[in-house]
Every structure is written in C-alpha cells, then in structure tokens.
A = this chain, B = another copy of it.
Amino acid sequence: MSTRACGRAVDEMRVVTITSNYTRHAEGSVLVEFGHTKVLCTASVVKGVPRFLRGKGQGWVTAEYGMLPRSTHSRMNREAASGKQGGRTMEIQRLIGRSLRAAMDLNKLGEYTIVVDCDVIQADGGTRTAAITGACVALAQALAWMKAKGMITTDPMKTLVAAISVGMVDGQAVSDLEYTEDSAAETDMNVVMTAEGNMIEVQGTAEGAPFTHEQLLAMLALARKSIDELVVHQRKAIASVE
C-alpha cells in the first residue's frame, strides 16, 4: 500500500487520544485529539426542552461548535466579536447535533436537553469528525451522570457514533486528512457511522475534479475501517470513567 507525504499509509489514522474529565464543571467532558487536532467536547444537562417539543415527554440533544481564534494557522476573527456565526460553523454544529440524535432514543431521555459544546483548541484538519467522535463520549458520560442521579432509568443511547474524514489526494483514497492534505484534496468526504458500520451521514464534496462511483466506494471502505478503530477508542474512554 502506497504511503503519503505525511508518511502515513492510506488507511492509517493519526494518533487518536480521548481524555475524559478534561474539565470539572460539565456533566461530560472530553478532550479528543486526532494528531494535532484538539477539540474540547463538553455535555451539559439542562432541564426542559425546546418549545417545539414541550409536553411530548421526550428529550433533545443539540450541539454548538466554535473555534478559538488562534486554533488555526493564521488568526481567525472571533465570531462573538463579528456578531454572527458563519455558514461553516452553523453547518458543522447542525451536523454534530443530527449525528448525536441518531445515536439516541430521545423518548428515554425525559424532558431534558443535553447541549454538547465542541470547541476547537487546535486545528489541523478533521475538526468536525473529531468533534463528533468526542461529543459522543461526552454525551455517554453525561447520560451516566444522569443515571447516577436517578434522572433516567434506562440508557437512551442506542449505539455509538463516530466520524472520519476521507478523501481523494493525489489520485488515491486516503483516511483522516490532516490540514495540508485537506487543502490539496480533490475530494473531501465526511462519514458518520454507527458502531455497527451503518451510515448516519455521508457528505462528499468535489473540491477539484468530480469523483467517480469507484472512488466513492474506495473512500467509504476506508471510512468504515477508521470508524471501527475510533469506536474502540470511544469504548475505552467510556469504560475508563465507570
């Protein structure tokens, strides 16, 4: 199997670390690292649900995403200062929220909202997929906290979800793109899967040339392999705090 400029094999992820209880106050708190990409994921349990769900006896899970201004190579403007969240931010936090809800049976949550904040401390490609992977662990920890408090009796989480970015770089399908690869990729694809390998989200974008059916299949196969590895990391992180 040919290697890439970064020295990794095409199906080789960067070093993945999931650190539990990274901060003190949140009900779930995880620092997830995919190589140099570092995202802090905190899960906050809040009484009540959004207006459109009131009185239905079910819960809600939502996500917010942000980047620290100097998480990136050159400084980005702070969204709080510019007065609105950009389109990319909104797109990513909607994706994280949908992915987490796909892992949940919201009827078992009761009228609680869990807000998962994903804040990028350092960016080097793949922040949204690292965020989903870490957010799922933070969510699991918050659910364990709720169970310990007697707020829920059965586990609302049906499965784990994890995510990986794959793409076409220099004509070959590769997994877990770091920043320099991401910038040069012909195609960039984010895949969210369950622990069982079923798909929650597939978002492939041709940045340069369009991609073919065969390339799509090659990228999906890499995604499946990496997500299997990520689920192992997730399980270890969840077990570590029980």
A65-109 contacts to B (CB < 8 Å): 66, 68-75, 78-81, 83-91, 93-94, 98, 102
A71 to B220, alpha carbons, bound, how many Å?
37
Instruction: Say if the beta carbon of A29 comes within 8 Å of chain B.
Output: yes
Known: A23-B71, A25-B70. A194 touches B210 (CB 8 A): yes
Residue of B nearest to A119 (CB): B68
Q: How far is the CB of A165 from chain B (nearest CB, A)?
A: 14
A17-45 contacts to B (CB < 8 Å): 23-26, 29, 36, 38, 40, 42, 44
State whether A68 touches B91 (Cβ < 8 A).
Answer: no
Chain A interface residue number, banded: 35 or more
Instruction: Say if the beta carbon of A193 comes within 8 Å of chain B.
Output: yes
State whether A68 touches B89 (Cβ < 8 A).
Answer: no
What string of 1s and 0s marks CB contacts (under 8 Å) between A197-214 and chain B?
011111111100111110
Known: A121-B23, A199-B204, A203-B202. A70 touches B87 (CB 8 A): no
Instruction: Say if the beta carbon of A228 comes within 8 Å of chain B.
Output: no
State whether A68 touches B203 (Cβ < 8 A).
Answer: no
Q: Shortest 8 CB-CB distances between A and B: which pairs?
A: A198-B210, A87-B90, A79-B80, A42-B70, A44-B75, A202-B204, A80-B80, A26-B70
